[in-house]
Amino acid sequence: MTRASEGMAGKSPRRVSIDLKTLGPAIALLLLCIIGFLLNPAFISEGNLTNLLTRSAFIGIIAVGATFVITAGGIDLSVGSMAAAIAGVMIIVMDNAVETLGSGVPTVLLGCGVAIILGIGAGWVNGALTTKGKIEAFIVTLGTMGIYRSLVTYFADGGTLSLNFEVRGTYRPVYYDSFLGLPFPVWVFIAVAICGWLLLNRTAFGRYCTAIGSNEAVAKYSAINVDRVKTLTYIIQGLCVSFATIIYVPRLGSASASTGVLWELEAIAAVIIGGTVLKGGYGRIGGTILGALILTTIGNILNFTDMISNYLNGTMQGLIIIVAVFLQRSDWKLGKSKKS
């Protein structure tokens, strides 16, 4: 806690440090793109860049929510399982609605509505158990992670839930079609990012999140309704998971126990790569988005080369994540001059 507040205090006199923190992830992403281009010029083809952005949307949208949770000093491990469970229920609801509502837009809207309600509900459960139940967020969300994951396995009878073929036809454009050259998922990603940025940086709620994350006791004495704000961060997280699921389902029209595996860790990694402090008290939406792009780009580049053994993919990902955070955390230039 103290270190975080020191960092914040040290920032105002020295503009340079802010720039380094902001630019770190951007530089890392730029470097990755240059490497990608050098390995294979097809990397910067329009098709590949569109794929990259669209793919980043899932983790990116979830990570925007995670930025709020982490900034307020919490953690949510359940998002990947939550996405799978929501996707599963959405598919079941839509398949069952075909008979009454037909296979058109109303069915899809019903599915999306169900997803949003479930996301908010699941987020509220995580939040209430953490605040009212006074259980550590790590344990609560570890528990709900297992619950949601096994629920989707149960719904699918261990197999795969598939969306009705005609409904898929109606729903498919949500993932595959474009508006002004950008696929719809990217637009959703942009909208969520802008809303998230405004909420975190331009509202009292955002400042409350930061205050609670840096020192919960002080925030409480400053008449901030800590429980309510913290619960809200989990609800925002749940809502973000709903949005991600709504654009995920039309991609392959299916959900199974392997849907969204490890998304929680990717989302947390994106948040941290972006400069948000894992212990809370400082959050950056812009960084989170760059973090999500970096993670997707790593996977993409590894698919673009056969120089690195397939078995070492994890090593490369790990190395790049650590280097990216190192670039962004190292106050070396500034630290030396300041310490005296």
Partner 1 sequence: MLMRKTLGMMAVTGALAFAGSAVAQDTIKIGVSYPTPTHAWAAGMNWHAEQAEKRLEELYPDVDLILVNSPDPGAQASALEDLVSVHQIDALVVLPFESEPLTDPVLNVKKSGAWITVVDRGLSQPGIEDLYVAGNNPELGRVSAQYMKTRLKDGDNIVILRGIPTVIDNERFDAFMEEIEGAGINVLDHKHANWNRDDGFEVMQDFLSRFPDIDAVWAQDDDIAIGVVAALKQAGRDGDGMFVVGGAGMKETIKSIMDGDTLIPVDVLYPPAMIATAMDATVAAFKSNGPVAGRYILGATLITPENAANYYFPDSPF
- The footprint of partner 1 (CB under 8 A) covers 40, 42-43, 45, 47-48, 51, 55, 153, 156-160, 162, 176, 251-252, 254, 256-259, 299-300, 303-304, 306, 310-311, 313
Nearer to partner 1, 8 or 39 (CB): 39
Q: How far is the CB of 305 from partner 1 (least distance, A)?
A: 9
For residue 277, count other CB atoms closer than 10 A to its CB.
22
Nearer to partner 1, 85 or 156 (CB): 156
| Interior angle at CA 291, CA 286 and CA 297, nearest 5 | 130
Nearer to partner 1, 5 or 50 (CB): 50
Residue 233, C-beta contacts closer than 8 angstroms, at least 6 positions apart:
68, 69, 71, 72, 74, 127, 209
Q: How far is the CB of 185 from partner 1 (least distance, A)?
A: 12
Report the alpha-carbon distance of residue 166 to residue 249 in Å, rounded. 14
Q: Which residue has the tokens 């983790």?
A: 59
Q: How far is the CB of 48 from partner 1 (least distance, A)?
A: 4
- State the helix-helix crossing angle for 263-273 and 79-101, rounded to 10 degrees: 120
Q: How far is the CB of 159 from partner 1 (least distance, A)?
A: 3
Nearer to partner 1, 119 or 253 (CB): 253
Q: How far is the CB of 228 from partner 1 (least distance, A)?
A: 36
Nearer to partner 1, 81 or 215 (CB): 81
For residue 10 the two structure tokens come to 């040290």
Report the alpha-carbon distance of residue 103 to residue 323 in Å, rounded. 48
Distances (CA, A) of 198 to 128, 202, 228, 288: 25, 5, 19, 14
